[in-house]
A and B are shown apart, each in its own frame.
Chain A
Amino acid sequence: MAEPRRVFSATGITKVYHMGDVEVHALRGVDLELYAAEFTVLLGPSGSGKSTLLNILGGLDRVTSGEVTYEGRDLSRASERDLTNYRRHYVGFVFQFYNLIPSLTARENVSVVTEIALDPMRPEDALELVGLGDRMDHFPSQLSGGQQQRVAIARAIAKRPAVLLCDEPTGALDSETGIVVLEALMRVNRQMGTTTAIITHNADIASIADRVIYLSDGHIVRTEQNRDKKEPRDLHW
C-alpha cells in the first residue's frame, strides 16, 4: 500500500485566548499530521484544547504562533478572504449543539450551504444519506436531537467537502442515537473518501477510528494507530 497523502500539517502551534480579564492557553505547541481519507479521533478531557485545534484546522480561528498547512497552503497566514474560500469549498463542520438555523427547514438548512458550493449534491440526496428523507420539510424545533445532528451532518457533507471536522457530534445525544450519527459519518468517510476528524471526550468512540490522537492540557500526549477498528454498531457506552 502506498504512503497515504498528507492533507494537514501543523507545526508548533499555540493559541492564547483572552476571555474577559483571563488569559487562557488553549494550545501550547502542537505538531500534527492528518492523511487523506483517514478517520481520526482526537480524544481528551474538556479544556484539553481539542476544539481549538479543530477550529484552527477548519479555518474558523487562527493560531497565535506556529504554522498550519492544508494541501500545502498556509492557513496560519491566510487572509480572511482565503479562509472564507477554504471553508466554503473544502471543509464541512458538525458541531456538538448542531447549530442549525432555527428559521429554516431541514432541506433549507442544507440548501444554505449547497447554494454557495461548487459541486454540491442535491440537498435531498444529502438528507437521504443520513436517513432523513422523510423529514426534509421539518423545522429544527420539530426534530429530535439525533435528527437535528443528522441534518447537521447532511449540511456538512452536501458540498462534498475534502475534510469533515466534527466537534463532539454525539456529545448531546444518548448512545443509541449517537451510534446512528456515527454510522452516518462512517458511511460518508467510506463512500466519499472524506478526510474525517472527530473530537470527543468519549474514549469508546476512539475504537472506530483509524488513528487516535490523545490531547491533554494543550499538548498531544500520544498517538495510536488502531489495529482492531470496530464498527459503530458494536459500540455501547
Chain B
Amino acid sequence: MRAINRKILRDLVGMRGQALAIALVVASGAATYIMSVSTLDALESTLAAYYREYRFADGFAPLKRAPRSVAARLREIPGIQMLETRVLAAANLTIDNFDEPVSAQIVSIPESGPLLNAIYLRSGRMPDPSRDNEVLVSDSFASAHQFRAGTHFYATINGRRRRLEITGIAFSPEFIYQVQPGALIPDFKTFGILWMPEDALAAAYDMEGAFNDVTFSIERSANIKEIIDRMDEILARYGGLGAYGREDQLSNKYLSSEFDQLRQMAVIFPAIFYGVAAFLLNIVITRVIATQREQMGVLKAFGYATTDLVLHYLALVAMIIAAGIAGGIALGAWLGQALGSLYMEYYRFPFLLFHLRPDMIFVAALISGVAAGLGTLHAVYRAASLPPAVAMQPPVPPRYRRSFLESLPLARSVSQPTRMIVRNLERRPLKSVLSILGVAAACAILVVGTLFSDSVDYIVRIQFQFAQHDDLNVIFNEPASAKAISSLKAMPGVRYAEPFRSVPVRLRFEQRSYRTSIQGLPHGAVLRRVLDSELKPAPVQEHGLLLTDYLAGILHVRPGDTLTVETLEGERRVLRLPLVAVAKEFVGVGAYMELEALNCAMGEAPSISGAYMETDSEHDKEIYAELREMPRVAGAGVRANALRNFYETMAKQALTFAFFNTLLAASIAFGVVYNSARIGFSERSRELASLRVLGFTRFEVAYILLGELAVLTVAAIPIGFFMGRGLGAFMISNVQTDLFRVPVIVDPSTYAFAAIVVLASALISGAGILRKIYKLDLVEVLKVRE
C-alpha cells in the first residue's frame, strides 16, 4: 500500500471518536431515509397487490332495498365491467365474558364467492351456503377475542337472536382500516366484520330476493362520474344513498391520507438529517485540515499537487461516510421491516411485500455522498491551496476585537474568562450561528417527532371535554318514532337521554356537491354539542344549517348562502336551506339542524335515529344486556371504551414511526453537541493549557470552554422549538382531509422532552470534555509546535 494511503488509515484511527460520531450521524440519516422509503414502498406495493389480486371494487352504491332483478339494469350501464349485489346488515353480538356492546357489520357472500372484494381466508374454511349459522370473522376481531374456527357466539340480527359458528378467519381489501361508523379510530374489540352466505343473511335480515348494496368495477376508459350519476338515477326509487368511487371508500380514504403523511415524513426527516450531517462534516473536516495544515505544507513542499491532497482528504472522508452508509442501510432495512410489521397490525394486510430495492440504496448512498462531498470539498480545497510556505507556518493569530457586548456598561464587571467566551462567539459569528442551527435542527426534529400525537391528543380532548358528554350512544337500524326515547329513558340506570336524527343527504351549492348526513339535535342539547371556532357551543337552528368549517370550504358557501339539500331517505325531498353558521370540528364533515325542524322539513312524523345517554356506571351491564335484545338497536358506543381504545392505540402508534424518528433525532442531537464541544476543545487545548500554566484552575479553564457550549445550547433550544413547530405546521398543512383536520398543537411536555434530550446531550458531552481538561498535559501541549 502506498504510504500516503497508509496515512489515511492511521489518521482514521487517530480521530476514531469523531469519525464514529460522524458515521453515526450519516447512518442515522441513511437509516431514516431507508426506513421511511422502504416502509412506504412496502405498504404501497402491498396495498396495490392486495387491491389487484383481491379485486377491490372501483365503486360502491348503498341503498335501502331493491329486488335482485334491478342488477341486470345496473349491469347495462356503459363502462361497467363487473357488478355484484349484496346484503349488508348490522348486528349486535353477545360474546362470552365480554359485557360491553359489540356490533358487527355482516357482509353477504354469493354462492360462488365474491367476484369483487375477494376474501383472503387465513384459516378455517368458507361457510357452507346451505347452512344458516356459519360465518367468517375478520382477522382483527378474531384476534381481539381469541376466536378460532369452531368458536360460537350470539348475534342479534333484525331483532332475532341466533347462534353463529365461526368457520374461518378472513381478510378483505375492503376492510383494511376497520372503523365503526361514528368512531374516531378502530376498536377491534367492539366492532368486527362478519361474512355470511347470501341466502342465510337475506333470510335473517328480511332481504330475500333483494339487495341493499352494490359493488362494481369499471372499464379502464370509463368515466366513473357518469356511471355514478346513472346508478344514482336507477337506484333513487329504491332508496339509493348515493354511489361513490373507491377514493371515497372509508378504509381506502384513511389509508391514502395516512400514506400521504408517511410520504412526507419520508422526505422531510431524511432531508433534515442529511442537512445536519453535512454541516457536521464540514465542521469536522475543517478542523482536521486545520490540524494537518503543516503536513499538507510538507507534502506540497515535496511535490504533491493540490488535487492530490484534495483527493487524499476526500478519500479519508469517503471511508467515514461509506461506513456510515453501510451501517445506515442495514439499520434502515431492519427498522423498515420492524415498522412494516407494526403497521401490519394496524392495517390488517394479509401479507407484506418488503423489498430493499437497489435504487433506494443508490439514492441513500448518493445523498450521503453528495452531502459529505459538499461539506468537505470547500474546506479541503481552501486549506490545500495555501502556498506551502504559509501552510507550514503557525496560523496568524486570529483577529479578536472588543465585542459589542463589552461596550455595554454592565460589561466592566465581567471577568476575563467570560470575556473570552463572548469574544470567541463574536469572532466567528458564522460558525456560532451554524453551531446553533445544527443543535436547533436536532431539537426541531425531536419536536416534530411527537407533535402529531400531541395534535391528535388535543382533538380527542376537545371532542370529549367540550362536544361529547354522553356515556353511551345508541343507533337504531332505521328511523324510529320519537316515542322510542321514552323506552330508553325507562331503562334502569339511564339518568338522561337526548334523541338525534340523522338523514343522509347530498348537499349542493353552485356546481359543487358533497354527500354527508344532517344531524338533527334538539334545542338546548347538552350531551352532544356543536362548537364554534372559540370552542363555545353553537346552537342548532330551525331555519337553516350549521356546517363544519371544512365542509363550508369544500362547497365554497358562506353564512347567508342557500344550499340545495337532496335528502336520500323517505320521500327524498329536495330542500333549499340557508347556511346560518359555521362550526369548528376536527373530525369528519357534518351538517347540523334543529331536530323538529329537520323532521318537519322531511315531511315526516317526529322520528329519531338514535340517542345519546347519561348512565349510572353500576347499571352498565344491565343496560348493555337490554340493548342487545332491542330489535331496533343497530349498535351502541361507550364513551369509556372509545377513550381507552384511543389511548391504547396512541401508545402503540408512539412506538412506530415517531418513536424511531425520535430515537434517531436524539442521536443526531448528541452527535452535533458532542462534536461542537470536542472540536472546541481540540482547537483551543493549547490556549487552555497556557492558561493553566498561568495559574488558572481546571474549573476556570473548563468554564471558558463549557460556558461557550452552554451559551450555544441554550440559544439553540428556543430556535429549535420555533423551527420544530414551523416544520410541523408545514407537514400538517399537507394532510388535511375531510376525515380529519389536524391542528398544530405542541404540548409543553413535547418541548420539555426535546429540551431535555438536547441538554442531556450537552451535559454528557460537557462531562467528556471536562475529563479531557482534567487530563490536559501542560508540558506536552506547550511543546507541540503549531
* Residues of chain A having any CB pair with chain B under 8 Å: 19-21, 52, 55, 58, 60-62, 80-81, 84-85, 87-89, 91-93, 95, 97, 99-104, 108-109, 111-113, 115-117, 155, 159
Contact = CB atoms under 8 A, between A and B. Distances in A.
A88 B14 CA distance: 28
A84 B303 contact: yes
B303 A95 contact: no
B305 interface: yes
Given A60-B297, A60-B301, A62-B387, 18 more contacts: A20-B396, A21-B399, A60-B389, A61-B388, A87-B303, A88-B302, A91-B301, A91-B303, A92-B302, A93-B301, A95-B298, A99-B392, A101-B7, A101-B295, A103-B10, A108-B7, A115-B3, A117-B303
B596 interface: no
B301 A155 contact: no
Nearest to B301: A93
Given A21-B399, A60-B388, A99 B298 contact: yes
Contact of B302 (A62, A104, A112): A112
A64 B4 CA distance: 33
11 contacts: A20-B396, A91-B301, A92-B302, A93-B302, A95-B298, A97-B785, A100-B298, A101-B298, A103-B10, A112-B3, A115-B3
> Which 3 residue pairs across A and B have the least CB separation, nearest first?
A88-B303, A103-B10, A111-B3
A116 B303 contact: yes
Instruction: Find the residue from B11, B389, B396 having the highest chain A CB count within 10 A.
Output: B389
B259 to A, nearest CB: 51
Nearest to A84: B305
A103 B11 contact: yes
Nearest to B392: A99
A87 B11 contact: no
Given A20-B397, A87-B303, A88-B302, A112 B4 contact: yes
A73 B359 CA distance: 54
Interface string B330-370: 00000000000000000000000000000000000000000
Instruction: Find the residue from B10, B298, B304 having the highest chain A CB count within 10 A.
Output: B298
A60 B387 contact: yes
Contacts of A104: 3, 6-7, 10
B129 to A, nearest CB: 81
Contacts of A20: 396-397, 399
Interface in B657-692: none
Contacts of B306: 80, 84
A99 B297 contact: yes
Contacts of A95: 298, 392
B470 interface: no
B304 A61 contact: no
B764 to A, nearest CB: 29
A21 B398 CA distance: 10
B300 interface: yes
A93 B389 CA distance: 12
A143 to B, nearest CB: 15
B8 to A, nearest CB: 9
Contacts of B4: 112, 115
Nearest to A100: B298
Given A60-B389, A112-B4, A103 B303 contact: no
A60 B306 CA distance: 13
B300 A84 contact: yes
Nearest to B399: A20
Instruction: Find the residue from B14, B302, B388, B392 having the highest chain A CB count within 10 A.
Output: B302
A84 B309 CA distance: 12
Contacts of B374: none
B3 A109 contact: yes
A21 B785 CA distance: 23
Contacts of A100: 298
A111 B2 contact: yes
A132 to B, nearest CB: 16
Given A19-B396, A62-B387, A113 B302 contact: yes
B165 interface: no
Given A20-B399, A61-B389, A89 B303 contact: yes
B294 interface: yes
B302 A87 contact: yes
Nearest to B13: A103
Contacts of A102: 295
B420 interface: no
A54 to B, nearest CB: 9
Contacts of A109: 3
Contacts of A113: 302-303
A107 to B, nearest CB: 8
A232 B136 CA distance: 104
A8 B463 CA distance: 91
A112 B7 contact: yes
B299 interface: yes
Contacts of B600: none
A64 B389 CA distance: 14
B405 interface: no
B389 A155 contact: no
Interface in B1-56: 2-4, 6-7, 10-11, 14
Contacts of A84: 300, 303-306
A20 B399 CA distance: 7
Contact of B300 (A62, A87, A115): A87
Nearest to A116: B303
A108 B785 CA distance: 22
Interface string B200-220: 000000000000000000000
Contacts of B11: 103
Nearest to A51: B389
A58 B392 CA distance: 14
B7 A99 contact: no
Contacts of B7: 101, 103-104, 108, 112
A103 B302 contact: no
Interface string B389-410: 1101000110100000000000
Interface in B268-309: 294-295, 297-306
Contact of A85 (B294, B299, B303, B397): B303
Contacts of A52: 389
A117 B295 CA distance: 18
